[in-house]
């Protein structure tokens, strides 16, 4: 490990990818083994300077105020940086669209070419997982584009959510996309989708989309518990029930440091604050106009989202940008609370224990003999 100012460049082997990790992140991992309150963040594509810099600083301030440690992620001069300092934040903000929009696909090229990359949700999740950061906040994730059944334009964010164990806090899917198809694709990828304090999946600029979600949670503690339980791996026993009445309770608690091995992430969708959702219908009208302009001008690929966000901001005379910034800050607040709750849960979780009622009707057997059995989890 090589220390360079406030960053630590990890070079464990010639075969390993070097990462520049901010010392506060390294400190949390070394001094406390793993605290869990690290919190990933990235610059938002389509947000102009200096609003992008002001928003980034505000987000980091919100995260710190609520007890978590922010780690803004980007690639600078070919080196993935986990936790940017102020000088790096300013540099990235001024680069704007000159910093290449970098998804997982682009990471090898950006590193090899020594270029600058503004990481998308997929790339940020990838880097966060490499250093053990469990929570990542963004404005909205990518998804299936409108008419995606014809164009096959589907964001790599969705695939990343299906294979990288990081919890993503967002205001849902960007409203320029096809939300129902995106939710179908997330189900196909095995991604847990949670709505925060609502029964409907939020639509970025508006609180509702008309799409019901399978699960709802109402507190940071509940979200943290879900993240922790998702990472459980109870591979040392199975609980077999024999004719136990419905009134019986089976409760199993285990060490949260174990890993369930699902390998997938989860999406926690937080609605935009009510006071900033008023312009939702105006923004939707602007989106429809911008979509037509994008088609007429043959805007394709990863240029679509920045074009649409910029054009919608112009058409709404800045209302969409103001709403975007508001929802990002709200997501940061919720995400920080979840990260801190997760850290507390992991630091204080008891040793593995099993509590059963009607125990005489239940037997415990090792994993090696998993015949006709089912797993029991605590409620």
Question: What are the structure tokens assigned to 101, written together?
Answer: 């929009």
Which of 204, 212, 198 is closest to 177 using CA atoms? 204
Residues in the chain: 379
Q: What is the pLDDT of residue 38?
A: 64
Q: What is the pLDDT at residue 98?
A: 92
Q: Give pLDDT, residue 304.
A: 84
In a domain, 360, yes or no: no
Position 301 scores a pLDDT of 79
DSSP character at residue 274 = G
Q: At which residue do the structure tokens 């003999």 appear?
A: 369
Does residue 23 form part of some domain? Answer: yes
CATH code of the domain covering residue 37: 3.40.1790.10
Whole-number percent of the chain with pLDDT over 90? 52
CA–CA separation, 147 and 176 (whole Å):
11
Q: Is residue 57 part of a domain?
A: yes
Collapsed DSSP state (helix, strand, coil) of residue 119: strand
Q: Is 161 within the bounds of a domain?
A: no
For residues 313 and 4, the model is more confident at 313
Q: What residue numbers bound the domain in which 82 lies?
A: 1-133
What does the pLDDT look like over 84-138, one tens digit per residue?
999 999 999 999 989 999 999 999 999 999 999 999 999 999 999 998 899 999 9
> What pLDDT, on the 0 to 100 scale, is given for residue 279?
80
Over residues 349-355, the mean pLDDT reads 36
Half-sphere exposure of 102 (CA within 13 A, CB side): 31
- Residue 22's pLDDT band, with cuts at 50, 70 and 90, is confident
Determine whether 172 is exposed, middle or buried from the number of CB atoms within 10 Å of its CB (0-12, 13-18, 19+): buried
Indicate if the pLDDT at residue 186 is higher than 70.
yes
Q: What is the pLDDT, as a whole number, of residue 339?
A: 93
317 located within any domain: no
Candidates 213, 230, 229, 234; CA nearest to 265 is 230
pLDDT of residue 263: 83
Task: Tell me which residue has tokens 């940071």.
Answer: 220
Q: What pLDDT, on the 0 to 100 scale, is given for residue 103?
A: 95
Q: How many domains does the chain have?
A: 1
Max mean pLDDT range (214-223, 274-283, 309-318): 214-223
pLDDT of 249 over the 50 cut: no
pLDDT (tens digit per residue) in 129-178: 998 899 999 999 999 988 888 889 899 999 999 999 999 999 999 878 99
Give the model's pLDDT for residue 146.
Answer: 83
> Helices 51-65 and 86-95, interaxial angle, to 10°?
140
79 within some domain: yes
| pLDDT for residue 366 | 36
pLDDT band, very low/low/confident/very high, at 209 (cuts 50, 70, 90): very high
pLDDT band at 35 (very low <50, low <70, confident <90, very high): very low
Is the per-residue pLDDT at 253 higher than 60? no
- Among residues 177, 175, 195, 197, the alpha carbon closest in space to that of 185 is found at 177
Predicted confidence at residue 230, as pLDDT, reads: 76
Confidence at 228, pLDDT banded by 50, 70, 90: confident
Residue 193 reports pLDDT greater than 80: yes
In a domain, 236, yes or no: no
Calpha distance 41→71 (Å, rounded): 6
Q: Is the pLDDT of residue 345 over 80?
A: yes
Mean pLDDT (the chain, rounded): 79
Q: Is 379 part of a structural domain of the chain? A: no
Q: What is the pLDDT of residue 25?
A: 65
Q: Is 60 exceeded by the pLDDT of residue 233?
A: no
Q: Higher confidence at residue 11 or residue 139?
A: 139
């Amino acid at each position: 490990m090589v220390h360079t100012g406030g960053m630590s460049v990890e070079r464990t082997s010639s075969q390993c990818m070097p990462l520049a990790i901010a010392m506060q992140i390294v400190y949390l991992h070394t001094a406390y083994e793993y605290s869990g309150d690290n919190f990933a963040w990235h610059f938002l594509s389509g947000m102009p300077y200096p609003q992008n810099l002001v928003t980034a600083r505000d987000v980091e301030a919100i995260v710190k105020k609520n007890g978590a440690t922010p780690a803004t992620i980007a690639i600078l001069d070919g080196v993935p940086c986990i936790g940017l300092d102020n000088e790096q934040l300013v540099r990235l903000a001024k680069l704007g669209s000159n910093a290449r929009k970098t998804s997982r696909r682009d990471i090898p090229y950006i590193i090899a070419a020594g270029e600058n990359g503004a990481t998308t949700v997929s790339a940020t999740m990838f880097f966060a997982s490499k250093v053990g950061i469990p929570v990542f906040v963004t404005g909205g994730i990518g998804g299936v584009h409108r008419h995606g059944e014809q164009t096959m334009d589907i964001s790599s964010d969705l695939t990343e959510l299906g294979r990288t164990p990081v919890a993503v806090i967002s205001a849902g899917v960007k409203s320029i996309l096809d939300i129902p198809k995106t939710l179908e694709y997330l189900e196909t990828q095995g991604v847990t989708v949670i709505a925060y304090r609502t029964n409907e999946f939020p639509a970025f600029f508006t609180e509702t989309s008309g799409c019901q979600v399978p699960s709802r949670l109402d507190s940071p503690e509940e979200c943290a518990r879900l993240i922790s339980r998702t990472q459980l791996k109870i591979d040392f026993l199975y609980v077999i029930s024999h004719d136990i009445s419905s009134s019986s309770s089976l409760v199993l608690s285990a060490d949260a440091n174990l890993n369930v091995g699902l390998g997938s992430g989860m999406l926690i969708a937080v609605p935009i604050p009510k006071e900033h959702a008023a312009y939702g219908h105006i923004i939707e009208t602007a989106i429809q106009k911008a979509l037509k302009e994008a088609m007429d001008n043959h805007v394709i690929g990863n240029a679509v989202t920045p074009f649409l966000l910029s054009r919608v901001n112009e058409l709404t005379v800045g209302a969409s940008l103001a709403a975007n910034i508001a929802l990002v800050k709200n997501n940061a607040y919720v995400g920080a609370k979840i990260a801190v709750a997760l850290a507390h849960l992991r630091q204080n979780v008891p040793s593995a224990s099993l509590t059963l009622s009607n125990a005489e009707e239940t037997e415990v057997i090792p994993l090696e003999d998993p015949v006709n059995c089912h797993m029991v989890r605590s409620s």
